């Protein structure tokens, strides 16, 4: 059983590596399952044992990144000073910059609107994490959540475009949080 699980995971890793390799070269519509299988050195049936088609693979990869960003943001609500969190997030974005850039640039026809999905999940995460939090000046939580998600997405996009840790921006975001939240 273990060897089958390991083989399954190894094949999965090959598929994902081949997928991103091809995505750096061409648009999703130009990639075929045959080409992906050949690049991964697996059979087409092995590919179909893992995914229905290349679009399901794309969706699962996009979801993986969105969920990782959401998970990281969920942790940040435990901290009053979020500079350490933002530094860690910056490192993650820089490490995954190429894949994130591809996801951001996907045409709407793929059904994956990465930025919109991130913004929605971050807004929902803010509301869920701050239901008991007292907002300064009694600003409605929906407004603050939208502001938070917009700032977060802007920070992610900026970091992808300018891949370095900008301490001035990190400090400014920390100050914005302090202005909005009663910590």
pLDDT at 4 > cutoff 90: no
What's the pLDDT tens digit per position in 93-146? 999 999 999 999 998 888 889 999 999 988 988 888 776 655 566 778 888 889
Average the pLDDT over 163-172 and give the result.
Answer: 86
Average the pLDDT over 30-46 and give the result.
Answer: 96
Average the pLDDT over 79-94 and give the result.
Answer: 84
CATH of 1-51, one of 2.170.120.12, 1.10.10.60, 3.30.70.20, 2.40.10.10: 1.10.10.60
- Reported as a pLDDT band with limits 50, 70 and 90, residue 80 is low
Q: How far apart are CA 148 and CA 142, in angstroms?
A: 10
pLDDT at 164: 83
Domain ranges of the chain: 1-51, 59-180
Rg (CA), the chain: 19
pLDDT at 71 > cutoff 70: yes
pLDDT at 91: 92
Average the pLDDT over 35-52 and give the result.
Answer: 96
Q: Give the residue with greater pLDDT, 133 vs 16.
A: 16
Q: What is the DSSP string of 122-169?
A: HHHHHHHHTSSPPBGGG--HHHHHHHHHHHHHHHHHHHHHS-S--HHH
How many CA atoms lie within 13 Å of 72's alpha carbon, on the beta-carbon side? Answer: 20
Average the pLDDT over 21-26 and give the result.
Answer: 96
The beta-carbon contacts of 108-117 under 8 Å, at least 24 apart in sequence, are 110/28, 110/55, 110/58, 111/55, 111/59, 112/58, 112/59, 112/62, 114/62, 114/65, 114/66, 115/153, 115/157, 117/62, 117/66
Give the angle subtended at the CA of 39 by the CAs of 38 and 42, to the nearest 5°.
50
Length of the chain: 183
- Measured CA to CA in angstroms, residue 177 lies from 55, 107, 109, 140, 146 at distances of 38, 33, 36, 15, 13
Structure-token match 């302090």, residue found = 178
pLDDT at 1: 46
Q: Give the residue with greater pLDDT, 68 vs 164.
A: 68
């Amino acid at each position: 059983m273990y060897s089958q699980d390991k083989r399954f995971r190894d094949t999965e890793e090959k598929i994902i590596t081949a997928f991103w390799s091809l995505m750096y070269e061409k648009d999703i519509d130009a990639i075929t399952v045959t080409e992906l299988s050949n690049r991964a050195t697996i059979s087409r049936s092995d590919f179909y044992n893992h995914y229905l088609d290349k679009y399901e693979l794309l969706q699962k990869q996009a979801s993986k990144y969105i969920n990782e960003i959401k998970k990281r943001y969920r942790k940040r609500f435990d901290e009053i000073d979020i500079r350490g969190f933002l530094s860690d997030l910056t490192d993650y974005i820089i490490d995954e910059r190429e894949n994130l850039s591809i996801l951001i640039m996907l045409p709407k026809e793929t059904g994956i609107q990465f930025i919109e999905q991130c913004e929605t999940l971050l807004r929902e995460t803010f509301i869920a994490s701050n239901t008991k939090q007292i907002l300064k000046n009694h600003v409605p939580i929906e407004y603050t959540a939208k502001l938070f998600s917009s700032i977060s997405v802007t920070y992610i996009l900026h970091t992808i475009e300018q891949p370095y840790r900008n301490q001035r921006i990190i400090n400014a975001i920390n100050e914005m949080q302090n202005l909005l939240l009663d910590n």
